[in-house]
Amino acid sequence: MDDINTCKRQFLEYVEIEKGQSLKTVANYDRYLTRFFTVSNIKTPTDITDDVVREFRLYLNRQSGMKVKGQVAATLKKNTQNYHMIAIRVFLKYLMKRGVTSLPPDRIELAKLKERHLDLITVDELNRLLHAPEINLPTAEGIDKTKLLRDRAMLELLFSTGLRVSEIASLNRDLDLSKDEFSIRGKGEKVRVVFLSETAKDAVQTYIKNRKDMSEPMFISLAKNNTRLTSRSIERIIKHYAIMAGISKKVTPHVIRHSFATDLLSNGADIRSVQMMLGHANIATTQIYTHVTDSQLRDIHKKFHGKSK
């Protein structure tokens, strides 16, 4: 009879090596499965039954969530509960593939989630944000000017490409700017092509030209010996310029990514193309942006419906 911990170790090696999942994804699978096996006292694959999974779901649903503004959420978020279920389902698929007797993976159902709410900024707010670093450029000197040029290049690049914050943090300065596109390795080690607007290309070229160092990263901390900016540092920079631009909403790099997607869709791009540019594995993830095309349909209905009456 297979020991569950041996099965788990072999599964984690499988998803890392054969499926090419990132180390972060492997670590998440490990954490969720370990929690399930410990709470449910799973010793072998045959111990995983419908009743055991149902009891574990009840356990998750009754757990208090993370602290938010000093308050502990009443329950674990539904999407966090689903992450546990997804890990169990993928594990069961692996067992089935190996011919190990256990619960069929299709017995694992996910909790229904509320429709995702997008944090969006208006076109005017976006323009103010993109131009915020330019306010002090005419009077900036030396390292301050380089910092402003860095931040302007970062903002333009985020909006031009729709990159995730981790992806823009990973860029190096040897980016080939002779082309209007470049490849980026994103989630799950998947490579996709993103595109540069002329504005973004000019901003990056100007920033690189003003750099005095030889550091490899594209975006560096000028206060910390030219080390690569972290995702958290980039988030703080975006927040700083959002405040400077007079935007009261919470603005993050992901909000700019939302603006990138909605800009494409509102100007006629098809959702499959936007899916590819965002690097979404599943088009269902991209469909959160269909509110843009929905509003266009409403405008068309108002304009053309019932005119013959």
User: Do the bridges between strand 181-185 and strand 191-195 make them parallel or antiparallel, or are there none, so unpaired?
Assistant: antiparallel
Q: What is the pLDDT of residue 301?
A: 62
Q: Looking at per-residue confidence, does 8 or 223 come out higher? A: 8
Whether residue 289 sits in one domain with residue 156: yes
Annotated catalytic residue 187? yes
Whether residue 168 sits in one domain with residue 61: no
* Per-residue pLDDT tens over the stretch 144-188: 788 999 999 999 999 999 999 999 999 999 999 888 999 998 887
Domain of 274 in residue numbering reads as 123-299
Whether residue 162 sits in one domain with residue 271: yes
Annotated catalytic residue 301? no
Annotated catalytic residue 164? yes
11 pLDDT above the threshold of 70 = yes
What is the average pLDDT across 267-285? 86
141 pLDDT above the threshold of 70 = no
Pick the catalytic residue: 8, 128, 201, 257? 257
Q: What is the pLDDT of residue 112?
A: 79
Whether residue 37 sits in one domain with residue 88: yes
Pick the catalytic residue: 89, 150, 152, 280? 280
Q: Looking at per-residue confidence, does 83 or 22 come out higher? A: 83
Whether residue 175 sits in one domain with residue 91: no
Whether residue 261 sits in one domain with residue 203: yes
Q: By three-state DSSP, how is residue 114 classified?
A: coil
Using CA atoms, how far apart are residues 206 and 200, in angstroms rounded to an integer? Answer: 10
In total, how many domains does the chain have?
2
DSSP for 181-214, written as a single string: EEEEE-GGG-EEEEE--HHHHHHHHHHHHH--S-
Per the domain annotation, does 169 fall within a domain?
yes
Q: What is the pLDDT of residue 24?
A: 86
Annotated catalytic residue 289? yes
Per the domain annotation, does 238 fall within a domain?
yes
* Per-residue pLDDT tens over the stretch 52-106: 999 999 999 888 654 444 554 457 888 889 999 999 999 999 999 999 999 999 9
Q: What is the pLDDT of residue 288?
A: 78
Partners of 184 in beta bridges: 192
Annotated catalytic residue 291? no
Whether residue 281 sits in one domain with residue 157: yes
- Taken in order 167, 170, 173, 179, is the CA torsion positive or negative? negative
Using CA atoms, how far apart are residues 24 and 47, in angstroms rounded to an integer? Answer: 27
Per the domain annotation, does 113 fall within a domain?
no
Whether residue 262 sits in one domain with residue 128: yes
Q: Looking at per-residue confidence, does 71 or 275 come out higher? A: 275
Whether residue 145 sits in one domain with residue 13: no
User: Residue 206's domain is classified under what CATH number?
Assistant: 1.10.443.10
List C-alpha distances in Å: 191 to 17, 116, 229, 231, 255. 17, 26, 22, 20, 22
Pick the catalytic residue: 35, 93, 145, 187? 187
Annotated catalytic residue 257? yes
Pick the catalytic residue: 152, 164, 201, 258? 164
Mean pLDDT of the chain: 87
